[in-house]
């Protein structure tokens, strides 16, 4: 992979954030109920899942 691939994946991840916010919220709510997370931990989980999901979607779209 070259640097241009990383830049393209990063640029494609920005619109993918719209599609990955809902799963991030739902998964963090599930984890909060199951493991009793605090509100701050729930927010951290929601943001990290959202970012990981957006990057995963954009990389799959780029390489497929």
The region that residue 37 occupies, defined by phi over 0 for left and psi between -120 and 50 for alpha, beta otherwise, is beta
**pTM score:** 0.85
Q: Which residues contact 17 (CB under 8 A, 6 or more apart)?
A: 50, 51, 54
pLDDT at 21: 95
Task: Tell me how far apart the alpha carbons of residues 3 and 34 are, in angstroms, rounded to a whole number.
Answer: 40
> Tens of pLDDT along 31-61?
999 999 999 999 999 999 999 999 999 999 9
Predicted confidence at residue 64, as pLDDT, reads 85
């Amino acid at each position: 992979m070259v640097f241009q691939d990383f830049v393209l994946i990063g640029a494609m991840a920005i619109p993918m954030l719209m599609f990955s916010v809902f799963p991030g919220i739902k998964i963090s709510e599930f984890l909060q109920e199951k493991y009793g997370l605090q509100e701050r931990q729930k927010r951290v989980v929601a943001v990290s899942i959202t970012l990981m999901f957006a990057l995963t979607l954009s990389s799959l779209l780029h390489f497929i």
